[in-house]
Amino acid sequence: MFLINKELIFPPVEESDEDGLLAVGGDLSPERLLLAYRSGIFPWYNEDEPICWWSPDPRFVLYPDKLKISKSMQTVLNNGTFRFTINRAFKEVIKNCKSVTRKEQEGTWISPAIQEAYIHLHKLGYAHSAEAWLNGELVGGLYGIRLGKIFFGESMFSKASNASKFAFINYVKQLQKEAVQLIDCQIYTDHLKSLGAIMIERATFINLLDTYC
């Protein structure tokens, strides 16, 4: 296990254990977080634990041009139920990602320190949010990091049926217009698989980072 000190460095991702855990310690400074993403690494840990850094193999990703939209979801996109925005409510999105429960997760990994760090990255122009609104209320959304032509998804939430999918699909379409080549979904979920996400080898993922990040 690699223990990080104040030095701004990560070990090679190939040194991750079988679960993808690479290192422990360090901080959530913008410099370290951006180095992590550019290196194929992300933080994920419980609030009462030291910071854990991960680089799983394989990696769960979505190629924007492989986005899957079901007929029922296409109806939702067309019927005007939700309103879509980008970067209108970043703090509220990350707050909801922390508080809204998910079927596939127990509790939340979004600690106050994580919130503060990503809000800082948002102010610096690296972290972005996409939102779904219903009758003026924020009911779904997601946030993540944009570096070059890659978007690193961090978390999403939904308070109304199909709201997170609505925000995600619309944001992927926007990223396609901006020539984004890859969306990092990090870890497998049925939700994202239904939208077209797939597993790729970590080595392939790192090569894509080197090309587009």
pLDDT digits (tens, 9 = 90+) for 41-66: 999 998 889 999 999 999 999 999 99
Q: How many residues are given for the chain?
A: 213
Long-range interactions of 11-16: CB distance < 8 A, separation 24+: 13/39, 13/40, 13/41, 13/55, 13/57, 13/202, 13/206, 16/54, 16/55, 16/56, 16/57
CA dist 167 and 20 (Å) reads: 29
Residue 84 domain flag: yes
* pLDDT value for 3: 94
Q: Which residues contact 124 (CB under 8 A, 6 or more apart)?
A: 30
Residue 92 domain flag: yes
Q: In this structure, are 21 and 122 located in the same domain?
A: no
Residue 8 domain flag: yes
DSSP structure class, residue 148 = T
Task: Residue 22: give its domain's CATH number.
Answer: 3.30.70.3550
CB 115 within 8 A of CB 57: no
Each residue of 64-89: pLDDT tens digit? 999 999 999 999 999 999 999 999 99
CA dist 150 and 181 (Å) reads: 6
Residue 94 domain flag: yes
CA dist 107 and 101 (Å) reads: 7
CB 140 within 8 A of CB 156: yes
* pLDDT value for 106: 44
Q: In this structure, are 51 and 113 located in the same domain?
A: no
The helix/strand/coil state of 136 is coil
Residue 209 domain flag: no
CA dist 26 and 13 (Å) reads: 16
Question: What pTM did the predictor assign?
Answer: 0.95
Task: Residue 81: give its domain's CATH number.
Answer: 3.40.630.70
Each residue of 175-202: pLDDT tens digit? 999 999 999 999 999 999 999 999 999 9
* pLDDT value for 107: 44
Sign of the Cα pseudo-torsion (20, 25, 30, 35, in order):
negative
Q: In this structure, are 167 and 151 located in the same domain?
A: yes
Q: In this structure, are 17 and 75 located in the same domain?
A: no
Domain that holds residue 127: 60-201
Regarding beta strands 21-25 and 2-4, do their DSSP bridges make them parallel or antiparallel, or are they unpaired?
Answer: parallel
